[in-house]
Amino acid sequence: MFQLDKVDVEILAHLQEDGRKSFTDIAEEMNTSVGTIRNRYTKLVKENILHIIGWTDPVRAGYNAYARVMIDVKPVAKVNQVTEELLKINEVVFLAHTSGEYNLEINLQCKDNNELISLMHESIMSIDGVYDTQTTMYFKVLKWASHDVSKANVSDK
């Protein structure tokens, strides 16, 4: 398993601050070579630790209905089948297996409440194995955050 070290964490912190920051600028600020930054960056991408994406603010892009849906699957043996069906739905932006009363949690981003209602009734509740759901609407998201890499487990290399 790949283990981050202090140099990796510092590179990740620079990229979280500005994902378009050049290797040259990072190298200068870290007092190291551009080659070191490029090699470390390539390794972080190859190890699937660093993912390069263009994050879009959903509200500014017209997605005004955001909800968390807890899903109870019965029989439990159908959890993987339900999971596979949920992965096919574009509006599902988060999906996790959970403990407790519900088996799955999803987050949905829809253009409006009508789209959300339609999606729930026609796409989610119709999946074989979906027994019950509990939906929480998010009225206003106050913080979208990425992980604080400064708290990552690092090796002492």
Residue for token digits 């070579």? 33
The single-letter DSSP state of residue 150 is G
What is the rounded CA–CA span in Å between residue 29 and residue 31?
6
Q: What integer pLDDT is reported at residue 156 of this predicted model?
A: 67
Roughly what angle, to the nearest 10 degrees, separates helices 6-17 and 34-46? 90
Q: Is the pTM of this model over 0.85?
A: no
- Domains of the chain and any CATH numbers: 6-54 (1.10.10.10), 65-138 (3.30.70.920)
Q: What is the mean pLDDT of residues 23-41?
A: 97
Handedness of CA 23, 24, 26, 32 (dihedral sign): positive
pLDDT in tens, 67-104: 999 999 999 999 999 999 999 999 999 999 999 999 99
27: which 2 tokens? 């190298």
Residue whose C-alpha is closest to residue 81's, from 73, 89, 69: 73
Percentage of residues in the chain with pLDDT exceeding 70? 97
Q: What integer pLDDT is reported at residue 24 of this predicted model?
A: 97
